[in-house]
A and B are shown apart, each in its own frame.
Chain A
Amino acid sequence: MSALAYATRVAPAPVLGAVLALALGLLPAGAAMGKSLDDPYFGEALYYAYQEHYFEALERLDTEIAQHYGVDEPQLDSLYAYIDHAEFSVGDFELHYRMHHRAGRAIRAVLEGDVEEPVRNEAAFRLARIHFQKDQPHDALQALDQIEGEVPETIQDDVAYLRANILLAIGRPADAIEILRGLQGSESLQGFAAYNLGIALLQAGEGEDAVRQLDRAGRVSASDPATLAIRDKSNLVLGTLLLEASAFEPAHHSLDRVRLAGPFSNQALLRAGWADLSAERFERALVPWSLLAEREATDPAVQEALLALPFAYSKLNVHGRAAVLYERAVQSFGNELGKVDASIASIRKGDFLAALVREEIRQDKDWVIRLRALPDAPETFYLTTLMASHDFQTALQNYLDLEDLRKKLTTWNRSFDSFDDIIRLRRRYYEPVLPEIDSQFRKLDAQIRLRLEQRKYLDQRLQHMLIAPRPDYLATTDEQDAAARLQALETSLAGADSSDSADSSDSADSADREALRLRIRRLRGVLHFGLETQYHERLTRAHEHLRELNADVDVLNARYEAFVRTRQAAVHSYVGYEIPINGLRARVRDALERLSVLMARQGHMLETVAIAQLSERRKSLEDYQNQARFAFADSYDRAAKAQAQVEIQAPAAAATR
């Protein structure tokens, strides 16, 4: 049995209220985390979750978390600060997407991980909530019992509220009462805790206290729709309690507090009428029932009012009016029977499932109501009534989820052909040009490597000169030329000397050569002086030039790397996709096949449930119609008799006069 159905059996509204209130209240919020998100991808997942697009939210957050755990240094990742929240959010999204199994696994993983006490306690709470929703209250309680130590302040009330509801579900109202009394001041649970306490007292057999508590719950000041609805419900239950106890006037007061436009309005009007009738205030009963009889005729309360209203008239001995209204009821039930028959026939034709997945309708938050108003769609007339069943709701939600998945898979299946096209076009473009580009690149690459080697050699030389100075290495080109020329002159003079010694030439030539040698030495000295005295300055300049060269080399390297990356990217843009695309294509097709089988089964189940419920409704309507027919005949007879009596009495009275 589902949690909702289970909750309904034990204590209809309060436990259901708990489930949904918790589910609504615990969606992760940026605000709840106390600061803006630094991780845009987690924020993106939340953006989808807040719009109730849980598939997209899960898809993004799963990927983000997987990437977070895949990086070498997770502490540097932007998700690091939010990883606990992200893990919880995955569980929440899965829960909202009705994936209880995965949600449970995700939260158990947090529980079993090395986490701080508040985080562990929050995980235990969330696991308990999942168990409770899965109709496993004992497991839920066990999970809550794991909570010890510090509990995050934001969930303290929710933990207590959940515990109280679990205790109610397992038949321990006395324990629940104790907890719920402590929650009466909770702002976030306003109305819900009050109502639940009333129901717990009722379950514990403390009727008087229950009445007082429900009265308090029926008077809470509220403005939000959820609290207004639970306040209405408190008043409705209280009114029914008092009606049962034959306290008709107080019952009427409670029922009067139910809003006329709220979801419990029809029931309140119906019971208010019964309270009046039971107190034999027949005229007063006409007011709520007349109002109710004009409302949507597919509603069972309205149908009951169609019979109750003429009954009240008959109690007032207005049999003529009663007969007219009974006749109207017969007609109305006949119309409704026609609608039910049309609905059943239409569902059997398969139109029901087609109507449910109409996209333009589902854009509207009141789509169920809009469906009912669709012309020429008899399959949807009684949809709101069908939605009352939790089984139907679950089956319907599953069906709609499957339909969404089918659309996604179909779109993806088509996109594979586009991917193939992209890859084919890229291959066609790159493959002819890449060999020529590679050839040019290899030439450039050789030149670049040579220059880089030269630069490296210069760098090493300069580094060495810091230890072993070599001024000659820093000579300018002119200086090098001059040194070479001086060296050549010296060599030439040495050659002349050796030939003179052989020829024994005159001493005048010898003196000239000596003078030249002197000049050469002086000049060499000038060169040497310059190199020695400017050595440090020149070395510094050489280093500066090398640094300038470094900047150019960096630019060169960057371009080189950019080219290599671009070259790789060009290849990666069309190589290596075949296997993953084909794998995905096969998975998508397989999923589509399984999905279509599942959709057929789920759809069949929906149709079966719908037809079964409509058949029951048909039976009730037939009963109503028969009752109305009998009552119509009875009222008609009485009206005719009364009329006849008037006609008999009138001449007699005239004769007497």
Chain B
Amino acid sequence: MTNRSGTSHSHVLRHAAPTHHSRSQCARFRRLLLPGIFLLALLASVGSIASTSFAADPSKDQMRSLDEQVQEIKSDVLGIAAELGRLEEKLLYPSNTQVSVFVSIAEGETLRLDSVRIQLDGELVAHHIYSFKELEALQKGGVQRIFTGNVATGEHQVEVSVAGKTESGGDFSGSESFAFTKEVEPKLVGVTLTGQGFGNASIQVGSW
């Protein structure tokens, strides 16, 4: 829709179409074809064209008022979402049983993560296949919460299996286990993927 230069393709097409005929033989065509919009029109009169285009449109005030109402309702819904999140956590994942697993890629790593499987005490609790956008978000430093669940206090074991491609294009897959003790506070387990040199990758699992 809109490129980084800020002007959509069709935007220029609409407002800057020149019909350039400098010679007399073009005059008839010029009269017939289009009102000429030359460079100055391109640079200076786009706004006026746009505004005349919207002569029958809703007023700017109306649009602004609607935009403000949209902002307001977004704010309200965010407030609801936050409260609902707290309620859900309290109801579904109370801290004394809550365990969460987070996945991240070490800084600067370019390895391609295809999938991650999480087993908790031998039971498969999460299996995620990564889209391009998700992978990109991880590579930029984002952290994915792949699993949130409940376990009893005491000893537990989490096993992480990862599949993907290294920077050199080779396949890699591997598993790593981590034993942890669940106590009264929420337990956060971190899975960090690192590439140890060209063609290798390793999985680090531990408490966050």
Residues on A lying within 8 angstroms of B by beta carbon are 1, 4-21, 24, 29-31, 33, 35-37, 40, 42-44, 46-52, 55, 58-59, 62-63, 66, 97-102, 192, 195, 199, 202-203, 225-227, 229-230, 233, 236-237, 240-241, 243-244, 246, 263-264, 266-267, 270-271, 274-275, 277-278, 280, 299-301, 304, 307-308, 311, 315, 368, 384-385, 387-391, 393-395, 398, 401-402, 405, 408-409, 412, 419, 422-423, 562, 565-566, 569, 572-573, 577, 580-581, 584, 587-588, 591, 594-595, 598, 601-602, 605, 608-609, 612-613, 615-616, 627, 630-631
| Cα–Cα distance between A14 and B7 once the two chains are bound (Å) | 9
| Cα–Cα distance between A293 and B29 once the two chains are bound (Å) | 18
Known: A240-B16, A244-B20. A62 touches B190 (CB 8 A): no
Q: Does any Cβ of A come within 8 Å of B134's Cβ?
A: yes
Known: A12-B43, A20-B2, A616-B53. A630 touches B32 (CB 8 A): yes
- B9 close to A612 (CB less than 8 A): no
Contacts of B68 in A (CB 8 A): 101
- B77 close to A405 (CB less than 8 A): yes
Q: Does any Cβ of A come within 8 Å of B121's Cβ?
A: no
Contacts of A31 in B (CB 8 A): 107-108, 140-141
Contacts of B14 in A (CB 8 A): 300, 385, 388
Whole-angstrom distance from the CB of B170 to the nearest CB of chain A?
25
Q: Does any Cβ of A come within 8 Å of B196's Cβ?
A: no
Q: Does any Cβ of A come within 8 Å of B198's Cβ?
A: no
Contacts of B195 in A (CB 8 A): none
Contact of B33 among A264, A304, A390 (CB under 8 A): A304
Q: Does any Cβ of A come within 8 Å of B70's Cβ?
A: yes
Whole-angstrom distance from the CB of B45 to the nearest CB of chain A?
8
- B57 close to A13 (CB less than 8 A): no
Contact of B77 among A304, A566, A591 (CB under 8 A): A591
Whole-angstrom distance from the CB of A637 to the nearest CB of chain B?
15
Q: Does any Cβ of A come within 8 Å of B81's Cβ?
A: yes
Contacts of A48 in B (CB 8 A): 137, 142
Known: A389-B50, A631-B32. A40 touches B78 (CB 8 A): no
Known: A13-B6, A31-B107, A301-B13. A598 touches B142 (CB 8 A): no
- Given A263-B3, A274-B20, 16 further pairs, Cβ under 8 A: A4-B6, A16-B2, A47-B134, A51-B136, A98-B67, A240-B18, A264-B9, A304-B19, A395-B66, A398-B70, A401-B74, A405-B74, A565-B184, A588-B80, A591-B76, A605-B58
Contact of B17 among A267, A311, A573, A594 (CB under 8 A): A267
- A598 close to B141 (CB less than 8 A): no
- Which B residues between 1 and 38 are near A, CB-CB below 8 angstroms? 1-23, 25-26, 29, 32-34, 38
| Cα–Cα distance between A591 and B81 once the two chains are bound (Å) | 12
Cβ contacts A to B, 21 pairs, < 8 Å: A12-B12, A29-B141, A30-B107, A33-B141, A35-B107, A47-B138, A47-B142, A59-B81, A99-B74, A233-B5, A389-B50, A389-B53, A389-B54, A391-B50, A401-B70, A405-B73, A423-B91, A581-B87, A588-B80, A595-B73, A627-B32
Whole-angstrom distance from the CB of B196 to the nearest CB of chain A?
16
- B66 close to A601 (CB less than 8 A): yes
| Cα–Cα distance between A244 and B208 once the two chains are bound (Å) | 64
Residues on B lying within 8 angstroms of A by beta carbon are 1-23, 25-26, 29, 32-34, 38-40, 42-44, 46-48, 50, 53-58, 60, 62-63, 66-71, 73-78, 80-87, 90-92, 94, 96-97, 100, 102, 104, 106-108, 133-134, 136-138, 140-145, 153, 184, 188, 190, 192, 208
- A388 close to B8 (CB less than 8 A): yes
Whole-angstrom distance from the CB of A418 to the nearest CB of chain B?
10
| Cα–Cα distance between A288 and B126 once the two chains are bound (Å) | 56
- B80 close to A233 (CB less than 8 A): no
Whole-angstrom distance from the CB of A364 to the nearest CB of chain B?
12
| Cα–Cα distance between A262 and B7 once the two chains are bound (Å) | 13
Contacts of A385 in B (CB 8 A): 10, 13-14
- B43 close to A199 (CB less than 8 A): yes
| Cα–Cα distance between A394 and B57 once the two chains are bound (Å) | 14
- B12 close to A230 (CB less than 8 A): no
- B18 close to A274 (CB less than 8 A): yes
Count of inter-chain pairs, beta carbons less than 8 A: 341
Whole-angstrom distance from the CB of B2 to the nearest CB of chain A?
7
Known: A299-B10, A387-B10. A573 touches B78 (CB 8 A): no
| Cα–Cα distance between A37 and B208 once the two chains are bound (Å) | 11
Known: A46-B137, A47-B142, A569-B96. A36 touches B104 (CB 8 A): yes
- B91 close to A202 (CB less than 8 A): no
- A62 close to B9 (CB less than 8 A): no
- A398 close to B67 (CB less than 8 A): yes
Closest A-chain residue to B184, C-beta based?
A: A565
- B71 close to A98 (CB less than 8 A): yes
- A304 close to B76 (CB less than 8 A): no
Which 8 pairs across A and B sit closest by C-beta, in order of nearness?
A: A30-B141, A16-B6, A9-B47, A43-B143, A47-B142, A226-B4, A50-B137, A263-B9
Contacts of B16 in A (CB 8 A): 12, 240, 267
Whole-angstrom distance from the CB of B80 to the nearest CB of chain A?
5
